Structure 1
């Protein structure tokens, strides 16, 4: 089920019955037959109209590649309640949109939580044995397993009590006047989706961009991720003065360089 909105966003219904929600996405086809599709997977509470997402789209257009961006349920232009969101739910929506557009070859670009979802998407595509070929991963301040590795160990007694009694806790956000809400469902589902538990085989080049002044996802977390990618061609770029957003002009220039390289490499082997 798909409809076109005035703002040019497409909508795809994911799930059935009470679980149905409309997912908004933007798709621009490739201008070259040998070019892959760049897929944007955003972070927690971010959307597909953010600076880095648009930068990815612009780089894809410059090289004749396709671009696919989406908003998870409860984010941006998509329907659904944000508080119903879990990694499994947002992963399901991401895969559904990719399946619907049906590209043959993709480069997954995951920012923060989107890096976790990108890694899980690779695992799910391999498990089911069908879908697009993943030709590269670009992970920007990736936050795999952040609920288990970063949030849970730092919970205060008050936050733990709130989780137990209310089913969620709130945390002030540096990026919004509204607090971040972390639900018990998100935390429990995060444990079921952990990837930093064994070797991660992506079968493609992986490039990680990580700020060393990232207050949300410490750069040591990126170093930890690299340890679980022993079989892949992995490049980790540490940006000494970079924060979590990595949205400054110099950061975006690095992102575009990485994407350009992956697009060119993919075109050579297509």
Structure 2
């Protein structure tokens, strides 16, 4: 797969006020004009950033097609400011909306990976409350983890982890992807309950393509099947990759992701 050609220096916007203010790093590729005035918006997973393989491939696809691509780092991630342990779904959702407002694309395809899939669904819910918003051409969800704090973390907490949350405000677990442990805070878990999406019908108003590995140890493929049940009004394609893991970053996985993103971006383009 090709490497993305894009600006190496991000621009920054300020999100929040007072002690909650943080600088959010953005890499933006401008969209073409006319019928191709479509931009991908990349939403990373937990502890991932906009320089990852999948995000870079999406930007490379945008370059080849003459489309736009907006990538950014949540606070506490990558090149953005703020403390990671202050992060919550609401906080990172606010940043995603601020980035979309700042870049002001005319038409978007949201591409969310893992936790980014949850934030993508919440972004659509929030945008649908507004009058002037980008047209949403499609939604690509890669091993999506909506409601993961409620459905995947809380039911499986050990007594030690529950005690750590109560006494220290967080607990740690080893990470398969980093020498540093994953940290899950009480604030993240409590805020997750307020951002649940798997509680009724989710109306995206756009075609949806979900890609899910069946060997995913972090988000079981049954979770994607559950998500499909909450999208009865949408045109949904679910691709199950029998030997795929959570990252879906092998060449064959990247080809599937790129093909899905391209199909949705060009869906209404002559």
Offset at 1:34?
Answer: 1.9
Q: Deviations over 1:161-215 (max 9, x none)?
A: 0001110000110000000000000000000000000000000000000000000
Q: State TM-score, norm by structure 2.
A: 0.96
Which whole-Å CA distance do the structure 2 matches of 1:170 and 1:260 have between them? Answer: 38
Offset at 1:7?
Answer: 3.8
Offset at 1:95?
Answer: 0.4
Give the 4+ runs in structure 1 shifted more than 4 A: none
Counterpart for residue 61 of structure 1: 63
Counterpart for residue 210 of structure 1: 212
* 3-state DSSP of counterpart to 1:128: coil
Which whole-Å CA distance do the structure 2 matches of 1:26 and 1:241 have between them? Answer: 32
Offset at 1:33?
Answer: 2.7
Counterpart for residue 27 of structure 2: 26
Offset at 1:259?
Answer: 1.2
Offset at 1:141?
Answer: 0.2
Counterpart for residue 52 of structure 1: 54
1:114-263 alignment runs, 5 A limit: 114-263=116-265
Aligned residues: 263
Query: Which blocks of at least 5 consecutive residues in structure 1 are unaligned?
Result: 1-5
Counterpart for residue 107 of structure 1: 109
Counterpart for residue 12 of structure 1: 13
Counterpart for residue 76 of structure 1: 78
Query: Which blocks of at least 5 consecutive residues in structure 2 are unaligned?
Result: 1-6
Which whole-Å CA distance do the structure 2 matches of 1:29 and 1:266 have between them? Answer: 19
Q: Deviations over 1:202-243 (max 9, x none)?
A: 000000000000000000000000000000000000000000
Which whole-Å CA distance do the structure 2 matches of 1:230 and 1:111 have between them? Answer: 21
* 3-state DSSP of counterpart to 2:150: helix
Offset at 1:266?
Answer: 3.2
Q: Deviations over 1:75-130 (max 9, x none)?
A: 00000000000000000000001100101110000000000000000000001233
Which whole-Å CA distance do the structure 1 matches of 2:28 and 2:8 have between them? Answer: 13
Which whole-Å CA distance do the structure 1 matches of 2:268 and 2:68 have between them? Answer: 13
Which whole-Å CA distance do the structure 1 matches of 2:220 and 2:237 have between them? Answer: 17
Which whole-Å CA distance do the structure 1 matches of 2:122 and 2:22 have between them? Answer: 21
Counterpart for residue 266 of structure 1: 268
Offset at 1:8?
Answer: 1.7
Worse-matched range after superposition: 144-153 or 255-264 = 255-264
Which whole-Å CA distance do the structure 2 matches of 1:18 and 1:50 have between them? Answer: 29
